[in-house]
Structure 1
Amino acid sequence: MIVIFLGPPGAGKGTQAKMVAAKQHIPQLSTGDMLRAAIAAGTELGQKCKAVMDAGDLVSDEIVTGIIGERIAMEDCRNGFLLDGFPRTVRQAELLDELLEKAGRQVDVVLELTVNDEELINRLNSRIQQTKDSGGEVRTDDNEETFRKRLAVYNEQTAPLVPYYEKQGLLKKVDGMQPIEDVTKSIERALAT
């Protein structure tokens, strides 16, 4: 089973992706982790990626897709995998489709966690307060201004994936406003159909 998770930052994708990956016995693939692993392994794509990142630039869609191609060719992805954080744009989705088609594979389901933007801001502020109350250190990027920018980027660049996958009949929406356990149950129902 090949699963893609979509949803704005703070929607709970990471939490739910871990549970789905464990239950389905498939690896959860994070783009950031894959980029770091390719660099550490010294692969040709990893070296290209390192040069781009060292120069302070963003890694191109083609390089990211190539690294994903290397990763999903590994044995643990034979029965499927879950993508969390990729694709981020329609162009990346098109490249992924091409990559999978060449391998004789296809995406099975795209799960979109839908959450109200203001609720996401409330969740962020609650998390910040809980961290402070417990004596923890709040991350420098954990603030409302930065979070609103991340939401804007998501809405501009990633949200267009929703109609892209709807047209393919792959999109299943899950209400991310529910308690975590209910979101998990909704995802399980979506995967069962």
Structure 2
Amino acid sequence: MSARLVLLGPPGAGKGTQAVRLAERLGVPAISTGDIFRANIKGGTELGRTAQEYTARGALVPDSVTNAMVRDRLAQPDAAQGFLLDGYPRNVAQVAELDAVLADQGLTLDAALEITADADVVVERLLKRAEIEGRADDTEPVIRHRLDVYAEQTAPISGVYAERGLLLQVDGIGEVDEVTGRLVEALATRVG
């Protein structure tokens, strides 16, 4: 099955978990920018070395480097029949870059899936995860700041995709299987 998808949602909404589950069902790779960064850094690629210079000093990797990594990853054979992007695009400029990458291949995006979740529920989830995983730096103020950053930078992407008629919003609160079911049901209207 061919599917070219973007997965959106605030931190703690379950994107990583759902990306893997959906990609498996669709037979396409789940591609996360974090995984791309780690693979390039571990592989010692030029882009990886550049990204590491930024991450080593706690800075955000610039769009130009992120865009180049995503372009390279989408050109790999396993993404030829589709992909599910998790963590990209993160801003409206990256939406335009993704459009250009796909246009170069004569392709378009099938859908943008947005997992929605109440902020208080997300904070509770992330605090529990921080406790389990020993993430002392994931405090409530830090988590709420990350949600604010998401709202400012990433949430406008939903508007872009909604205007194009590509946005599918799915409630991310509930059991993992329930949420997966909702996503699959929403996707059935677009991919098949």
TM-score, reference length from structure 1: 0.89
Deviation track 1:126-179 (CA, whole Å, cap 9, x = no partner) reads: 4456x3xxxxx5212322111111111101111101101101111000011233
Q: How much does 1:15 deviate?
A: 1.0
Deviation track 1:11-53 (CA, whole Å, cap 9, x = no partner) reads: 1111111100111111111112112212333333333333444
Tell me the residue number matched to 1:94. Answer: 96
Task: Structure 1 unaligned segments of length 5 or more: list them.
Answer: 132-136
**C-alpha separation between the residues in 1 aligned to 2:78 and 2:5?**
15
Conserved in 1, the CA contact under 8 Å of 2:91 and 2:154? yes
Distance of aligned partners of 1:71 and 1:178 in 2 relative to their CA distance in 1, 3 Å threshold: same
Higher mean C-alpha deviation, range 19-28 or range 37-46: 37-46
| 2:37 partner letter | L
Higher mean C-alpha deviation, range 9-18 or range 38-47: 38-47
How many residue pairs match? The answer is: 187
The SS at the match of 1:154 is: helix
Deviation track 1:54-94 (CA, whole Å, cap 9, x = no partner) reads: 45532211211111111111111111111111111111111
Q: Does 1:182 align with 2:178?
A: yes
Q: How does 1:146-185 map to 2 (within 5 A)?
A: 146-185=142-181
**C-alpha separation between the residues in 2 aligned to 1:53 and 1:149?**
19
Pick the structure with greater CA Rg. Answer: 1
Higher mean C-alpha deviation, range 24-33 or range 42-51: 42-51
Task: Structure 2 unaligned segments of length 5 or more: list them.
Answer: none
Q: How does 1:81-160 map to 2 (within 5 A)?
A: 81-128=83-130, 131=132, 138-160=134-156
Distance of aligned partners of 1:122 and 1:43 in 2 relative to their CA distance in 1, 3 Å threshold: closer
| 1:176 partner letter | G
The SS at the match of 1:46 is: helix
Conserved in 2, the CA contact under 8 Å of 1:62 and 1:95? no
Conserved in 1, the CA contact under 8 Å of 2:8 and 2:112? yes
Conserved in 1, the CA contact under 8 Å of 2:130 and 2:136? no
**C-alpha separation between the residues in 1 aligned to 2:57 and 2:176?**
40
Conserved in 2, the CA contact under 8 Å of 1:6 and 1:110? yes
Q: Does 1:45 align with 2:47?
A: yes
| 1:58 partner letter | L
- Percent of paired sites with the same residue: 44
**C-alpha separation between the residues in 1 aligned to 2:43 and 2:129?**
35
Q: How does 1:6-45 map to 2 (within 5 A)?
A: 6-45=8-47
